[in-house]
Amino acid sequence: MHPAERVRAYFEACNRGDPAALAVHFTTDAVIYDTNIAPMRGRDAIAAGWAAIAAKWGGATWSVDSVVAAADGSVAAIEWSMAGTDPRSGQPFVFRGSEHYRFDGTLIAEIRQYWTFDRDRLDSGLIGYPYE
């Protein structure tokens, strides 16, 4: 599976919040590093963690906005969006971020997630960028 296809399939699994569907995209010892939370280590912990995030933000959806990947399939970088409704206020929100992927074969071995979470400002993204 090409890295762009793998990332898009992983995001579809994130939207379903199904741990089994999430786990198949990762190596057993995969790790996700994030700018807001401690690392998630291991395929099963990642799958359970993402299922909990999907449940917490019920109704939220994640989308891949752009992907670039190395020709040899070893690495990729993406821009993404998460849209939903704040369960506290009922207000819509959009978070935007960037991730860097490392693959082992066709499976995700590492993700480095860069984004800003601010409960008082649920609209993170590039300042001044003309998002559609």
- Please check the confidence at residue 91 and state whether its pLDDT lies above 80: yes
Higher pLDDT, 115 or 119: 115
DSSP H/E element including 89: none
Characterize the bridge pairing of strands 107-114 and 92-104.
Answer: antiparallel
* Cα dihedral 72, 102, 52, 122 in deg (nearest 10): -100
Residue ranges covered by each domain of the chain: 3-114
What is the pLDDT confidence band of residue 6, given thresholds at 50, 70 and 90?
Answer: very high
- Please check the confidence at residue 20 and state whether its pLDDT lies above 80: yes
- Domain 3-114 class, CATH top level: alpha beta
> pTM, whole model, 2 decimals?
0.89
What is the average pLDDT value for the chain, to the nearest integer? 89
Please state the rounded mean pLDDT for residues 115-126.
74
Q: Under DSSP, is residue 21 helix (H, G, I), strand (E, B) or coil?
A: helix
CA nearest to 132, candidates 66, 86, 78, 67: 66
